[in-house]
Amino acid sequence: MFYVNIINRAYLESELERHGLMDLAEELIERVIENVSQYDVYERIPIYVVSVVNDVLKKVHAQFNILENEGEEEQMKLVEFETLTLSE
């Protein structure tokens, strides 16, 4: 099992809040944790979530990047949130 440290979680949360999707933060983070073991350092993790906001179906695509973990435990994965894209 890997421990995941999203180093810029505040940025992820601010982007979600800006789009009125703050309630998706935990779901996105859970999906990163579920998928992180399938990726190596410097690989990107795409996460897709579908949500209804104001009776409109929103498709949310979040991109994360696994960073090199110098001097830390091998079981710890450093993950950086990169971008959030929405479509209807």
Domain that holds residue 22: 3-87
Q: How confident is the model at residue 72 (pLDDT cuts 50, 70, 90)?
A: low
For 1-53, write each residue's pLDDT tens digit.
668 899 999 999 999 999 889 999 999 999 999 999 899 889 999 999 998 87
Q: How confident is the model at residue 73 (pLDDT cuts 50, 70, 90)?
A: low
Cβ neighbors of 40 (< 8 A, separation 6 or more) are 66
The partner residues of 78 in beta bridges, in order of sequence, read 5, 67
User: φ and ψ at 36, to 5 degrees?
Assistant: -60, -30
Q: How confident is the model at residue 70 (pLDDT cuts 50, 70, 90)?
A: confident
User: φ and ψ at 27, to 5 degrees?
Assistant: -65, -45
For 53-63, write each residue's pLDDT tens digit.
788 898 999 99
The partner residues of 4 in beta bridges, in order of sequence, read 77
Domain count, the chain: 1
